[in-house]
């Protein structure tokens, strides 16, 4: 069973890859991903300068998922540009993920990665866990200014990692920007802002931002599926979509394909299970596709039925 797919014209050997976030900050971690069955090597969302991230405790793991306010700990964008030539030997697409704090940050990093050896550039407009910084993906006027500043700086495909949207007007506004600025792919969705309380201690479970953080895992799959589906329909299959959120089995991945995703990214399950999850999920999905008579990812993509 063939599970190859394409994201913005770049071929992947399967539709299962790691999401930016867990276990992808250092060269050692990236090499572990490269040696796994992940179809691509997704790097940590990087900033201009290295960051330690938020104070600890900043991560809370529970059976259904993870809850965190990491604050973008990373080595700085120049390190990841330097990693790319070393990762080329693994013959997998390399995806950079960028998180700026200003328009100049984004321009500087997009220009630099356009000249690098990465294959795709994912611009993160959705991080909810940096103190004092807004989620750019909810400010459509600011988002347009950013897109206008960095689109067209090179030939490598540029995509957007988006927050979860809940109102159709917001989907429509973002879809118009995506088409206007020829964005090549979308990643939907990032974590959802939440609060978890320990009733025994009567306290928050993480320290940053008075305990407010981003939740991932099983809880957010319905939000991820709805965002993928709505963008798939609004963009009329003109833009590649990678689904993220609550994917722990081949069935979860298959649901994202039905909703319209070209590929899926694995975060929480990778955090908990390690790199073996990519092969397991891909094999489970292959069995589902075979059982249902689909012979490729493309043949299943977007085939959601309505009652």
The enclosing H or E element of 107 equals: helix 103-114
E strands in 125-191: 158-162, 185-188
Q: How far apart are CA 260 and CA 251, in angstroms?
A: 14
Would you call 127 a catalytic residue per the annotation?
yes
Query: How far apart, in Å, do the first and last CA atoms of the chain sit?
Result: 29
Count of residues making up the chain? 307
The enclosing H or E element of 217 equals: strand 212-217
CB within 8 Å of 166: residues ≥ 6 apart = none
What are the Cα distances from residue 53, in Å, to 25, 70, 233, 245, 290? 12, 6, 37, 22, 44
Annotated catalytic residue, options 15, 46, 66, 127: 127
Q: How far apart are CA 253 and CA 282, in angstroms?
A: 8
Q: How far apart are CA 201 and CA 188, in angstroms?
A: 35
Instruction: Report, as residue numbers or ranges, the catalytic residues.
Output: 127
């Amino acid at each position: 069973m063939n599970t190859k797919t394409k994201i913005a014209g770049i071929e992947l050997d399967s539709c299962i890859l790691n999401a930016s976030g867990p276990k992808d900050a250092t060269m050692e971690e990236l090499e572990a991903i490269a040696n796994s069955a992940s179809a691509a090597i997704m790097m940590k969302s990087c900033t201009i300068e290295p960051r330690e991230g938020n104070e600890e405790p900043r991560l809370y793991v529970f059976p259904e998922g993870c809850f965190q306010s990491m604050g973008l700990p990373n080595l700085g964008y120049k390190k990841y540009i330097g990693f790319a030539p070393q990762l080329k030997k693994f013959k997998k697409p390399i995806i950079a993920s960028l998180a700026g704090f200003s328009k100049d940050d984004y321009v500087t990093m997009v220009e630099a990665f356009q000249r690098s050896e990465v294959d795709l550039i994912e611009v993160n407009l959705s991080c909810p866990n940096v103190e004092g910084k807004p989620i750019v993906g909810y400010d459509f006027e600011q988002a347009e200014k950013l897109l206008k500043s960095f689109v067209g700086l090179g030939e490598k495909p540029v995509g957007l990692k988006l927050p979860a949207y809940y109102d159709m007007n917001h989907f429509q506004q973002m879809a118009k920007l995506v088409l206007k600025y020829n964005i090549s792919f979308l990643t939907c969705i990032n974590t959802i802002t939440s609060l978890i309380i320990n009733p025994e201690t009567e306290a928050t479970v993480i320290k940053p931002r008075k305990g407010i953080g981003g939740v991932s895992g099983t809880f957010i799959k319905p939000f991820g599926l709805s965002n993928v589906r709505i963008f798939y329909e609004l963009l009329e299959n003109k833009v590649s979509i990678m689904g993220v959120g609550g994917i722990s089995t081949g069935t979860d991945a298959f649901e994202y394909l039905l909703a319209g995703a070209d590929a899926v990214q694995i975060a929480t399950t990778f955090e908990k299970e390690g790199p073996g999850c990519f092969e397991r999920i891909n094999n489970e999905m292959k069995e589902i596709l075979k059982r249902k008579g689909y012979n490729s990812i493309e043949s299943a993509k977007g085939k959601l039925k309505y009652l």
